[in-house]
Amino acid sequence: MLERLTRKPRELVAALELPADATPAQRFQRLQQITAATIGLGAILLASMAYLLHPWLQQLPPLVGLGEAPVSAVLVGLLLLTTHALASLLLLRASSRIREQDEDTSTEHRDGLLQSLSASADLDQALQEQLQLAVSDSESSTVTVIGRVQQLNTSASKLLDYLQHSDTNASDMASDIREGVDEMNKIAGFVEQLPDKIRQNNQTVESIFSEIKHLEGLAGSIKLISKQTNMLSINAAIEAARAGEAGRGFAVVAAEVRSLANRAAEAADTIESGLEHALTSVKQSLSESDLANASHELEQANQVADAFEKLQHSYEDMRQFYKTLFTVVTRHNTELAEQIADMLGLLQYQDVESQRITRIKDTLMRRQALCAEITQLGAQVEAQADEPLDAALLPQLSVSLQQLLEEYLEAESRHRHPDHGSADAEVDTGPRIELF
Amino acid sequence: MSKTILVVDDAATMVMSLKSSLEIAGFKVETANDGVQAMDKLKGGVKPDLIITDINMPNMGGIEFIGKARALPGMRFVPILALTTESQQAKRDEAKKLGATGWLLKPTSGGDLVKVIKQVLPGA
């Protein structure tokens, strides 16, 4: 009988069970429904009992010696008490069931939250590792770029040194060539005057030649005079011999005159022979000086001098071109050096970004530590089971995360570059370059 | 004779890039990775004509280094420039009070840096 009475309410309670993911509002609403149902059920039960027991109530007062009203009051009171007890029992069981469901749900939520925190900590760890890797990679790339830029600058400097060295060598060479051309011009000038000098020399030689010819005539005259003198001395000797003793002294004079005439003839022969030899030499000298050939060689020498002069002009042109080239390369090299210096300055962005990533990494590390701490506290709360999760941990987590956010934003604002603009007008970043 | 500049920064890339750009500009460069190393160099005989220092560094930060460097003999009038990402005005004021000559925010181009150096280092 009792089982039959309680089976329906149990089924009713079972029907009123909520799904595991029901919200607290849904659970409260369902509890109100159950309360209303049990009160309604109690009222129906009370009315039914009063109706069924009415005949018995009319017979009972005489048996207990009381009036009909007190007996009815006692009976209604008992029935009311019974129905309320039953309703309370049903309500108690329903609320107990809901609380069990809530506890199950709460446990699931806590486990889920702790798992989420643990996963978040793992994610933070993974992000930190990736950020560290990004910093290392960018640092490595920046070092490589700096190395390459240094090589570029070294190459540019070497090129400039080479050009400077070449310019110096070219200057020396130009000086040598200029000196060579001057020497050649002097030689050319000398060679140019040479035909006139040769002509003058030839005229001198021809004059000497005619003088010698003239002397040769004189030698012939001396020879003739000596011959006549010799004849005269012979005649004198004959006449002296005829004169006998008186002509003996005259014969001696005639002999001396004859001897002188012979010596004069010998001297004239010697002079004639010497003049003949001199004439032969002068003739030979005149025949060797070939003025036609000399003129050709002189022309060639002049052509060489012209070629040297042209070479000098060509070299001056080349040197001017070289000088212009050197000036242009030097200017470009200077610009290149300035651009390299600027580019090296821009590589400071790596440090700026590296510091920004480091701040993010530090914040992630702190959030990871926070999640680990909350997870540990969650395990302790679960062990103690004396305090609900939301009351113990969630407010603490919320406060800590808010504090972490504020600290991170404050650190970022302290490192904001003025070129990036300021989202917060109150943050004073100051000028980019300031001299005190 | 080329001027000597002491570069103090904990970031290897900063030290390398500054060293290269300053050497291209014709300066002789000494380097240190933090304030402690820089102080050791100054006490060890390095006589820079100018110092460029970061602010946020391990072991000894730039603000502390500026104060200590200024107290060394012969360092009273040597220009000290802070080159940093730190943009807080309070830090600038503190550095100025301790004897810093100027404050530059990273990144500063090589051209701008050399201009500032020529302003504070006559004859450079």
Q: What is the pLDDT along chain B (124 residues), one digit of tens a residue?
A: 789 999 999 998 899 889 988 988 889 999 999 999 999 999 998 999 999 999 999 999 999 999 999 999 989 889 999 999 988 888 999 999 999 999 999 888 888 898 999 999 887 7
Nearest Cα to B109, choosing from B120, B99, B117, B101?
B117
pLDDT grade for A7, boundaries at 50, 70 and 90: low
Cα torsion through B43, B45, B47, B52, rounded to 10:
-50
Name the residue facing B104 among A352, A355, A433 (closest C-beta).
A433
pLDDT of residue A55: 77
pLDDT in tens, B66-82: 999 999 998 988 999 99
pTM of the model: 0.61
Kindly state the tokens that stand for A161.
């040194």
Kindly state the tokens that stand for A343.
């580019």
Nearest CA in chain A to B87: A429
User: What stretches of A347-387 show up as alpha helix (H) in DSSP?
Assistant: 348-384
- Give the ipTM: 0.87
A433-435 and B4-8 beta bridge pairing: unpaired
The segment with the largest mean pLDDT, out of A125-134, A397-406, B6-15, is B6-15
Q: Do the chains contact at B13 and A345, CB–CB below 8 Å?
A: no
As a whole number of angstroms, the distance between CA A139 and CA B16 comes to 11
pLDDT at A408 over 80: yes
Tell me the nearest-neighbour CA distance from A369 into chain B, angstroms. 23
DSSP A66: S
Nearest CA in chain B to A157: B24
DSSP A425: T
Any bridge partners for residue A55, and if so which? none
Mean pLDDT of A69-91: 79
pLDDT in tens, B46-68: 999 999 999 999 999 999 999 99
Kindly state the tokens that stand for B37.
């190393």
Helix or strand run (H / E) with residue A76: helix A68-243
User: What stretches of B25-72 show up as alpha helix (H) in DSSP?
Assistant: 35-43, 62-70
pLDDT of residue B84: 92
Residues of A in contact with B77 (CB under 8 A): none
pLDDT at A48 over 50: yes
Name the residue facing A351 among B88, B101, B106 (closest C-beta).
B106
Question: CA geometry: angle at A151 spanning A149 and A133, to 5°?
Answer: 50
Tell me the average pLDDT of chain A. 78
Q: Do the chains contact at B110 and A416, CB–CB below 8 Å?
A: no
Mean pLDDT of A154-178: 79
| Percentage above 70 pLDDT, chain B | 100
pLDDT at A425 over 50: no
Q: Which among B22, B85, B118 is the top mutation candidate for probing chain A, defined by the most A β-carbons within 10 Å of its own β-carbon?
A: B85
Q: Do the chains contact at A415 and B85, CB–CB below 8 Å?
A: yes
Question: CA geometry: angle at A33 spanning A32 and A39, to 5°?
Answer: 90
Q: Which among A150, A160, A334, A344 is the top mutation candidate for probing chain B, defined by the most B β-carbons within 10 Å of its own β-carbon?
A: A344
Nearest Cα to A72, choosing from A86, A59, A84, A82?
A59
Mean pLDDT of A10-15: 60
pLDDT at A392 over 70: no
| Percentage above 70 pLDDT, chain A | 84
Q: What Cα–Cα distance (Å) separates residue A254 from each residue in A191, A249, A259, A353?
A: 64, 9, 9, 142
pLDDT grade for A423, boundaries at 50, 70 and 90: very low
As a whole number of angstroms, the distance between CA A386 and CA A381 comes to 7
Q: Do the chains contact at B17 and A348, CB–CB below 8 Å?
A: yes
**Would you say B27 and B3 are in contact if contact means Cβ atoms under 8 Å apart?**
yes
Size of interface A-B (CB pairs under 8 A): 124
| CB neighbourhood size of A397 (10 A) | 17
* Residue with the two structure tokens 């036609």: A292
* Residue with the two structure tokens 């702190």: A366
pLDDT at A387 over 60: no
As a whole number of angstroms, the distance between CA B24 and CA B121 comes to 17
Q: Which amino acid is at B64?
A: E
pLDDT of residue B101: 94
B4-8 and B28-32 beta bridge pairing: parallel
Higher per-residue pLDDT: A293 or B51: B51
Q: Do the chains contact at A433 and B108, CB–CB below 8 Å?
A: yes
pLDDT of residue B71: 92
As a whole number of angstroms, the distance between CA A63 and CA B15 comes to 114
Mean pLDDT of A362-387: 77
pLDDT at A389 over 90: no
Mean pLDDT of A308-321: 78
Nearest Cα to A205, choosing from A276, A285, A294?
A285
Q: Do the chains contact at A433 and B88, CB–CB below 8 Å?
A: no
Kindly state the tokens that stand for B18.
């500054």
CA A400 from chain center: how many Å? Answer: 45
